Amino acid sequence: MMIEEAKYAAVYGILMLGLIVEILIAVDGGALGSLAGPAILAIASLQAIFIFLVYMHGRYGPRPVAVFAVISLITVVPLFIALLYSVVMPHHGSLP
């Protein structure tokens, strides 16, 4: 049982560490340049994965849930791509 608690506390430590690194990058992220934003989002993604796997996972069988979660994430990926492309790619303007 104590192992469980140690695991949760360790993940909490990882989440806090990630938070500190995020803030440091945002406050003084000059060295990372344009990578600062992606780096912060990568840390947030890792934090979310830890929460999902450890805090939300509990004693459930992980695989069906994880597969379902990944499919859920994949469904919104095309929207992100299209929204980004709508902005980033040159517009051709309205057709006649």
Partner 1 sequence: MVDWKPLKRWLFTTNHKDIGILYLLTSLYFFVTAGLFALTFRFQLAVPSNTFLQPDEYNQLVTTHGLLMLLWVITPLGAAFANYFVPIQIGARDMAFPRLNALSYWVYLASGMLALSSFFAGGGTADWGWTTYAPLNTVEFSPAVGGSMMGLALMLLMASSIVSTVNFLVTIFRLRAPGMSLVRLPLFTWGWIFTSLLMLWAFPAFVSALSLLVADRAFGTVFFTSTQGGPLLWDHMFWFFGHPEVYVLLLPGFAIVGDLFSTFSRRPLYAKKIIIACLAIASILSFTVWAHHMFMTGISQSLLEAFNVTTELISIPFAIIVIAYIFTLRGGSIRFTTPMLFAVGALGLFIIGGVTGVFNSSVALDTAFRGTFWVVGHFHYTIVGGGLTGLFGGLYYWFPKITGRMYSERLGKIHFAIYMVGFNLLYFPMHLLYDMPRRIFKYDASTGWGPINLLITIGGFTFGISQLIMFANLLWSARRGPAADKDPWGGYSLEWGIPSPPPEFNFPEGVPVISASGVTFRPSTPAMANGGQAMADGGHANGGHAYVSHEDEFGEEHWSHWPIVVAAGAGIALWGLLMGLPALFLGTGVLAAALVGWGRESLRGRSEVPVEATGEKWPFDRLENLSLGMWIFVFGEIAFFGTLFGAFVFLRMNSPLTGFVWPRPGEVHNIFWGGFNTIVLLTSGLTMVFALTFARRGSYRGLQASLVATFALGAFFMVNKAFEWNELFTNGFTFSTSSASSIYYVLSGVHGAHVVAGLTALVYLMVKALKAGSVKQASGAVEIFGIYWGMVDAVWVFLFPLLYLL
Residues that bind partner 1 (CB under 8 A): 1, 4-5, 8-9, 12, 15-16, 18-19, 22-23, 25-27, 37, 40-41, 43-45, 47-48, 51-52, 54-56, 58-61, 63-65, 68-69, 71-73, 75-76, 78-80, 82-96
Least gap, CB of 7 to partner 1 (angstroms): 9
Least gap, CB of 90 to partner 1 (angstroms): 6
40 contacts 26 by C-beta, under 8 angstroms: yes
Least gap, CB of 31 to partner 1 (angstroms): 16
Query: Identity (one letter) of the amino acid at 82?
Result: A
Nearer to partner 1, 33 or 72 (CB): 72
62 contacts 53 by C-beta, under 8 angstroms: yes
In angstroms, the CA 31 to CA 25 distance is 9
Tokens for 71?
């499919």
| N residues, the chain | 96
Count other C-beta atoms under 10 Å from residue 19's C-beta.
13
Nearer to partner 1, 33 or 90 (CB): 90
